[in-house]
Chain A
Amino acid sequence: MTGLTGLSPLTVLAEASTPDGTAPPPLPGFVVSSFSPLVADVATRCLRARHGSAPVTAEAGARTAVVLVSGSGDVRMAEHVAAAVDAGTRIGPLLFFQAVPNSVAGHIAARWGLRGPVVCLCPVGEPRADGLAQARLLIDDGDADEVLVVLVEQAGAVETAHALLVSEGESR
């Protein structure tokens, strides 16, 4: 449904990666899985490269969306919850809100003052292309000037994360 072939590419304002296998710093409130810490770490480094320190200006924040793209989802969290349910053991109350990718997207948005749309996708095609297509959709539809696109995968032994801040052009 991208339907965006032929449109001009978005400008990448900043970009950051987490080298494969690098453990992200702990993220208070998020336990059991590295999924959310990975997202927060790479997003923070990307936003710092563009904006310096948090938060962004209120004007920029109102027009910045967050798009989180993951084919695997938070596999470690799903495994932990399934094991606990099957074994009949206690599930920690903190896990309640970590079970969806929105929560860490909201953590980033709150820390940086980003008040554009929050969208999480499982990529159907190449994750970067799908993330950029969603960014293009939000920008063209008028809901954002800049979009933070975070790509994170947790399948297999290797965990990867990459973040891009994109816009229609060099807006500032």
Chain B
Amino acid sequence: MVKKGWLLVILSVIMLNGCMEINDQPDFYERTTDVSFFIKLDTTGHSQLLSDIPVMANVPVTITTLVYADFEITGLTNDSGWVYFNDLPNANYSVKVRVDFDFQNDLDVLTLTGSDIFSVAKGNSVLSDTLNLIMSGKPGLKINEIYYMGPPNRIFYFYDQFIELYNSSDQTMYLDGMIVCRMGTCVVGADNVTYIFQLPGEPLTGREYPIYPGEFKVLAQDARNHVVVQGADTLVRSIDLTSADWEFVNSQDYADSDNPDVPNIGNIETGNRNDFMIALGSDIVLIATGEDVEYSDGIDMETIIDCVEYSSKADHIKDITEELDEGFAGVGMAKYSYQSIERLTPGFDSDNSTIDFQVYNYPTPGFQNE
């Protein structure tokens, strides 16, 4: 009997010895990395106007991370153009500069913008890099914001998508007859049109639908209040698009809603029964004058006003050539996250969406995210 008892004791000790992974304390601590940036002006295309490259002194530089809540630090460059951030926690950061710089020459006052991403991780004690500031390209009609990720929900609701246009020129422009396209993978130019919708009016010559200097126009997939869906159910973090300026409507899509108070952008693609829906992962949005609506061979490059490629994957292989967009926006965004991409400043365009656009946690239809 005693022997049996001892077996029980041994069994109980074995049960105590279940697998348990006990880790030792890391000898690496948070907040041990210092980061510095040399802020430099990229004079490409403007060097003839600048006898000396100005030192970017006293320029505010802001770093943010989405890892920790409300984490934002702003530092000023010193007289040599360097800015220092000490004791940063491990995270992925974006560094951003936006400053109105007075060149005191023919360039006068120009907005300079630069952004980059960097990572602080185990093993980095000091990081140093150069951040190039670029000047915005020529002003005009721009795709200023694309909201495509949809609100937090579990019914795959993303019908609150919209595209925001902005007139960054000092002249009134007209949207008459303009086409808005969703593009597929292009081999030569813009040769693969997925959807093509057109605004009413005569391209180039029409004067019915102006967009004034500094004005935003919102092109909604469905111009309705997306906060309220399915009767009493609500999507608290969606948006009310009943006051959108335009609404995509496909008369062949019998389920597509049509707000009678909002003018339509109609489908002109034969056989397309879908509304203007764009993907939540990667896609391309293009606007063109509307002179060329023969979409089967693509859109003439000369008529393209603006084109933006986006992808949430950093290793995305581009689907369009650098002529249309040198980069792509939206890296790191999550589906149904309410996130949106918008230009760093209204209409800021260097033809590289990687630089021009920034990810925001919420969309701002009709105005700029501050």
- To the question of whether A and B form a pair in one complex, the answer is no
Interface residues of A (CB under 8 A from B): none
